[in-house]
Amino acid sequence: MKINILHAGYCTAPEHIAIHGGRWRNIHFPAMFALLQHPRFGAMLFDTGYSYRFFDETKKFPKRIYRWMTPVHLKEEDLVVNQLSTFNLQPSDISHVFISHFHADHIGSLADLSGSRFVYMPHAFSHLRNLPPKEDMKHAYLRGLIPTDFDSRSQVVDMSKPVLLAGEYAPFKTGYDLLGDESIIGVELPGHALGQMGIFVRDEGGKLFFFVADAAWLKRSIVTNTPPHKIANFLFPDPEKYRETLGHLHTYHLTHPDVHVIPSHCDETIRALESGSASR
C-alpha cells in the first residue's frame, strides 16, 4: 500500500526528559500520523495527531496543566482534515483509524472522521471508559476527544486470535492480523500506556515500516537502548515493561536495519520520511 508520514502539530518538552543524558533544552515532538492507502480498504490512518479540540478541552483547570506541561503548536494547515485534501481525500474517505493509544496527541481528530472504523486493543480504552473525570489527567486522557458514537464504530482487536509471526518480526513473536489479509499486523508495546499498539505495514515496493507509537519518544533511544529520564517513570503505568519493550525495539533495530522503525514523536525521523523517504 502507499504510505505517507505526516504530522498534525507538535509540542515542546525538555530533551533530557525524553532520553537519559539528553540536552537541557526544549525540542519539538511532532504528533505523527500516517496515511495508509490500501488497494481494497482504501484510505486509512494510524493515529491522528492534534486538533483544535485539544485547546478546547484544556481551557480550564486542572486540565489546563496538560497544556502547560506540553505546550502545543498547531496551524490550520496542520489539521488532518486539511492535509487529507492535498491527497484528494475527504475525512469521510477514511475507512479505518488504527489507534495506538488514547493520549490526546494521538486521537485529537477522531471526531472529524465520521465514516471511520476505530481499531484498538481492548484494554487501551476499557480502563478509561469509567474513570471519574478527576482521574483523567493521571492518564493524559481528554474524554471530550472521544466521538459520541465511538462504541458503535469500534472494532476492538480480538486478542483471543493472535498470529505467530515470522522471523522477520523477531523478537516480536505474536501479533494480530488487523484487516484479515496480513497487510497490517498489530503488536502490543506495553509500558508507556495500557494496551499501546504498534503496527507493521509494508508499502507497495515491499519496504517494511514499523510504527511504534510512544514505546520510545526518540529514535536515538531505540538505536542506543537509552530510556527516558527516571522522572518519566511517573508518567508510565509500568516502567519495567517500558524498559523491556525498549529492549525489544533495540534488538529489532539491530537485526532488521532496513526496516523503518518510526516513533510517533521523533522530529528527525519524521522530517526525513516526510521529505520523501516514505512511499508516495
Could you tell me the three cell numbers for 174? 505474536
Per-residue pLDDT of the chain (280 residues; tens, 9 = 90+): 999 999 999 999 999 999 999 999 999 999 999 999 999 999 999 999 999 999 999 999 989 999 999 999 999 999 999 999 999 999 999 999 999 999 999 999 999 999 999 999 999 999 999 899 889 988 999 999 999 999 999 999 999 999 999 999 999 999 999 999 999 999 999 999 999 999 999 999 999 999 999 999 999 999 999 999 999 999 999 999 999 999 999 999 999 999 999 999 999 999 999 866 455 4
- List the chain domain ranges: 2-277
Contact present, 71 and 60 (Cβ < 8 Å): no
* Three-point CA angle 103, 155, 5, nearest 5°: 55
pLDDT tens-digit map of 21-59: 999 999 999 999 999 999 999 999 999 999 999 999 999
The residue among 78, 147, 82 whose CA lies nearest residue 111 is: 147
Could you tell me the three cell numbers for 249? 525495539
pLDDT tens-digit map of 120-157: 999 999 999 989 988 998 899 999 999 999 999 999 99
CATH class given for the domain over 2-277: alpha beta
